């Protein structure tokens, strides 16, 4: 669940306008094990939480980025590039 992360991004334009601080806060909320990466499991657990505030477009972009990595995880820089690049 995204504690402290309260806005929903609804359009591609808004995704491009996300600030690095917003992405960092999202990353920190998703990285439950504090490993410095987000895994599919961490993303899924958050999405399945009843109070998840992640927009479906954001979830799909993150999920696609994770699937493209051999490690099955993405770092903060990769998340920023995925959402704002």
79 located within any domain: yes
pLDDT in tens, 13-60: 356 567 888 899 989 999 999 999 999 999 998 888 766 677 888 889
4 located within any domain: no
Number of domains the chain contains: 1
Kindly calculate the radius of gyration of the chain based on its CA atoms and give it in whole angstroms.
12
CATH code of the domain covering residue 64: 1.10.238.10
What is the domain range of residue 40? Answer: 12-84
3 located within any domain: no
More confident residue, 1 or 47: 47
- The upper half-sphere exposure of residue 77, i.e. CA atoms within 13 Å in the direction of its Cβ, equals 0
31 located within any domain: yes
């Amino acid at each position: 669940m995204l504690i402290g992360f309260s806005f929903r991004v609804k359009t591609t334009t808004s995704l491009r306008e996300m600030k690095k601080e917003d992405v960092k806060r999202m990353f920190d909320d998703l990285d439950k094990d504090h490993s410095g990466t987000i895994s599919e499991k961490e993303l899924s657990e958050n999405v399945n939480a009843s109070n998840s505030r992640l927009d479906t477009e954001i979830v799909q972009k993150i999920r696609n980025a994770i699937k493209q990595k051999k490690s099955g995880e993405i770092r903060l820089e990769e998340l920023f590039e995925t959402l704002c690049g």
